[in-house]
């Protein structure tokens, strides 16, 4: 047997696994970690919505409060007061108090606490965008892997379906599906979605972005299919499932991890757009999009009703995008060379 000379790398301890390495790199990425912290804080605040409504705002954010009063500077003030114009025509909801308590961000046109609705709505927005992204990534992974790995007619059928979906502009498709389905929900025997359930926007938003992820996954898998180590696995006689599991899936998953925050951000924006058009989350439930819709008619007098959810969307999407960049840098082995 020939000798292998002892070098320093022989003495070094074994390197950590791929995911451990990526995790370490991500932990060192300050922008990504701040974004992650921002997202966690937003999620926790939204999760605390019922507690906030009960113990700080002391209101039910789903019931209108047309004739109530609230204490401001020691005096009782009407939640829906007369408008502040010369003729006192119309009504004007109470403005923000800017301190923790009832109507911190003011009231909407039905006298509901905007701050409490913002937290409840954020919960729905986040649930929909995360769940829709999960639906999208799972469907894209399945279709992309099947098309890329098996090729032939499997690839042709899947690619044809994806192209058909891709041919529609995203919002046109989302709006058409929502308008049609929002009235009755989906009823396919075993698979039923109620019109008022969050599952309906989740399904619609999840499906429309599938081609945008499935295409790159298919390309990635087609490339891996030709790689020497997959050929080596075939040469060993490994069955297809082992090759998919050990050689293909780990690469696909790291690609999906990079895609995930970007798709969540896209889904959040799409959900807001649909809800703004009243074809997403249905009242009395709220989402950031429906609150912006509520604030549209108050934009000149009480702009905070629309600005608050708008800001929430901007901050969340920005944090998701920065986190996505960080994940890409941490998971992409070539990123090291680029620096």
Partner 1 sequence: MSTPLLTIDRLSKTYTTGSGLTRAGKSLIRAVDDVSFTIADGETLGLVGESGCGKSTLGRCVTRLLDVSSGRITLAGTDITRQRGAALRATRADLQMIFQDPYASLNPRRRVRDIVAEPLIVHRRGNRATVSDSVRRLIADVGLRPEHLDRFPHEFSGGQRQRVGIARALALAPRLIVADEPVSALDVSVQAQIINLLTDLKRDRGIAMLFIAHDLGVVRQIADRVAVMYLGHIVEIGATEQILAAAAHPYTEALISAVPVADPARAKQRHRIVLAGDPPSPANPPSGCPFHPRCRYATDICKTAMPALREMADGRSVACHHPVGIDQAA
Cβ proximity to partner 1, 184 vs 242, nearer residue: 242
Taking the complex as a whole, the smallest distance from the CB of residue 28 to partner 1 amounts, in Å, to 20
Taking the complex as a whole, the smallest distance from the CB of residue 260 to partner 1 amounts, in Å, to 19
Return the residue matching tokens 């919505």.
49
- Residue 168: strand, helix, or coil: coil
CA 193 → CA 197, 198, 275, distances in Å? 7, 9, 18
268 touches 320 (CB < 8 A): yes
CA–CA dist 66, 80 (Å, integer) = 6
Q: Nearest CA to 225 among 141, 147, 144, 148?
A: 148
Taking the complex as a whole, the smallest distance from the CB of residue 150 to partner 1 amounts, in Å, to 15
60 binds partner 1 (CB under 8 A): no
Cβ proximity to partner 1, 191 vs 241, nearer residue: 241
Greatest Cα pair distance in the chain: 102
CA–CA dist 133, 127 (Å, integer) = 10
The only residue of 188, 228, 334, 336 in contact with partner 1, by rule CB under 8 A? 228
Which residues ranging from 235 to 294 are in contact with partner 1 (CB under 8 A)? 235-239, 242, 246-247, 250-251
Query: What b/e string do you get for 29-58 counting C-beta neighbours within 10 Å, with b at 16 or more?
Result: beebeebbebbeebbeebeebeebbeebbe
Cβ proximity to partner 1, 16 vs 169, nearer residue: 16
Cβ proximity to partner 1, 13 vs 76, nearer residue: 13
2 binds partner 1 (CB under 8 A): yes
CA–CA dist 311, 307 (Å, integer) = 6
CA–CA dist 44, 91 (Å, integer) = 35
229 binds partner 1 (CB under 8 A): yes
3 binds partner 1 (CB under 8 A): yes
Cβ proximity to partner 1, 98 vs 246, nearer residue: 246
188 binds partner 1 (CB under 8 A): no
Taking the complex as a whole, the smallest distance from the CB of residue 137 to partner 1 amounts, in Å, to 20
**Candidates 5-13, 31-39, 78-86, 131-139; binding stretch for partner 1 (CB under 8 A):** 5-13
Taking the complex as a whole, the smallest distance from the CB of residue 219 to partner 1 amounts, in Å, to 18
Q: Nearest CA to 206 among 135, 279, 141, 127?
A: 135
63 touches 112 (CB < 8 A): yes
333 touches 15 (CB < 8 A): no
**Candidates 73-81, 91-99, 138-146, 226-234; binding stretch for partner 1 (CB under 8 A):** 226-234
The only residue of 18, 160, 171, 245 in contact with partner 1, by rule CB under 8 A? 18
335 binds partner 1 (CB under 8 A): no
- What residues make contact with partner 1 under the rule CB under 8 A? 1-4, 9-10, 12, 14-15, 17-18, 227-229, 231-239, 242, 246-247, 250-251, 333
């Amino acid at each position: 047997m020939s000798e292998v000379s002892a070098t320093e790398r022989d003495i070094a301890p074994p390197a950590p696994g791929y995911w451990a390495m990526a995790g370490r790199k991500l932990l060192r990425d300050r922008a990504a970690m701040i974004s992650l912290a921002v997202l966690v804080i937003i999620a926790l605040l939204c999760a605390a919505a019922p507690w906030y409504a009960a113990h700080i705002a002391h209101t039910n954010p789903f019931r209108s409060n047309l004739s109530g009063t609230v204490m401001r500077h020691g005096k009782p003030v009407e939640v829906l007061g007369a408008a502040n114009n010369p003729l006192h025509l119309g009504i004007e909801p109470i403005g923000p108090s800017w301190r923790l308590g009832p109507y911190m961000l003011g009231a909407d046109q039905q006298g509901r606490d905007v701050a409490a609705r913002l937290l409840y709505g954020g919960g729905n927005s986040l649930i929909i965008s995360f769940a829709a992204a999960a639906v999208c990534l799972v469907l894209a992974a399945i279709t992309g892997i099947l098309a890329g790995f098996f090729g032939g007619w499997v690839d042709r059928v899947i690619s044809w379906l994806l192209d058909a979906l891709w041919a529609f502009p995203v919002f046109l498709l989302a709006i058409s599906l929502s308008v049609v389905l929002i009235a009755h929900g989906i009823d396919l025997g075993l698979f039923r979605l109620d019109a008022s359930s969050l599952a309906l926007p989740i399904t619609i938003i999840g499906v429309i972005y599938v081609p945008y992820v499935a295409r790159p996954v298919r390309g990635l898998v087609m490339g891996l299919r030709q790689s020497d180590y997959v050929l080596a696995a075939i040469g060993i006689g490994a069955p297809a499932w082992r090759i998919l599991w050990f050689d293909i899936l780990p690469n696909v998953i790291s690609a999906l991890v990079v895609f995930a925050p970007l798709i969540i951000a896209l889904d959040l924006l799409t959900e807001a757009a649909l809800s703004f058009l009243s074809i997403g989350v249905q009242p009395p439930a709220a989402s950031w999009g429906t609150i912006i819709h509520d604030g549209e008619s108050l934009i000149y007098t009480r702009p905070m009703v629309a600005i608050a959810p708008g800001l929430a969307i901007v901050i969340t999407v920005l944090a998701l995008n920065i986190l996505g960049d960080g994940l890409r840098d941490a998971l992409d082995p070539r990123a090291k060379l680029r620096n």
